[in-house]
């Protein structure tokens, strides 16, 4: 085997004593699930929640609109930077109609429970489609019903 093809072992590992605690900030890209939850939790909080790095996809914007319809104040301050003035647990009100949630996800089941309204129920797409097939509901793009 020629010398340039010889296997060389890496330098031995060494350990250093820590000099100071690790500190700093890191920015991670927005995430759909976390963005939904951030808006929902902000709406359920008392006072102002500031969200940075919010993923501004169609579904997340639909969640923001739904939270507004139930009483939270939500405004977009800049790209990915949102301000949510929450109404507290039990403070979200009944929407006048069905909420357009974009592409609904299981986060809404948790929200119905967190709203603190006895008997709150989220109609899933499976249930909604069944009701449409039976003529009990009108088909629409990704509508989910919150019943109180």
CATH number of domain containing 106: 3.65.10.10
Residue 26 lies in a domain: no
Residue 49 lies in a domain: yes
Residue 22 lies in a domain: no
pLDDT tens for each residue of the chain, 148 residues long: 555 556 666 777 787 787 887 677 767 677 888 898 889 889 989 999 999 999 998 888 988 998 999 899 999 999 989 999 999 988 888 888 777 776 655 566 666 665 655 555 556 666 666 766 776 655 554 444 444 4
The domain of 70 spans 32-147
Closest CA to 108 of 49, 67, 57, 55: 67
What is the number of structural domains in the chain? 1
Residue 125 lies in a domain: yes
pLDDT value, residue 98? 72
């Amino acid at each position: 085997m020629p010398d340039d093809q010889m296997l060389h072992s890496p330098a031995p590992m060494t350990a250093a004593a820590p000099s100071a605690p690790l500190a700093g900030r890191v920015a991670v890209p927005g995430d759909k699930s976390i963005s939904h939850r951030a808006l929902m939790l902000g709406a359920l909080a008392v006072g102002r929640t500031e969200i940075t790095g919010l993923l501004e996809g169609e579904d997340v914007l639909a969640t923001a609109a739904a939270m507004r319809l139930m009483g939270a104040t939500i405004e977009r301050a800049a790209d990915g930077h949102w301000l949510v003035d929450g109404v507290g647990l039990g403070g979200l009100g009944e929407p006048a109609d069905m909420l357009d949630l974009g592409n609904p996800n299981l986060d809404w089941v948790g929200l119905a429970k967190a709203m603190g309204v006895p008997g709150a129920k989220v109609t899933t797409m499976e249930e909604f489609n069944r009701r449409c097939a039976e003529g009990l509901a009108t088909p629409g793009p990704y509508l989910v019903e919150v019943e109180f």
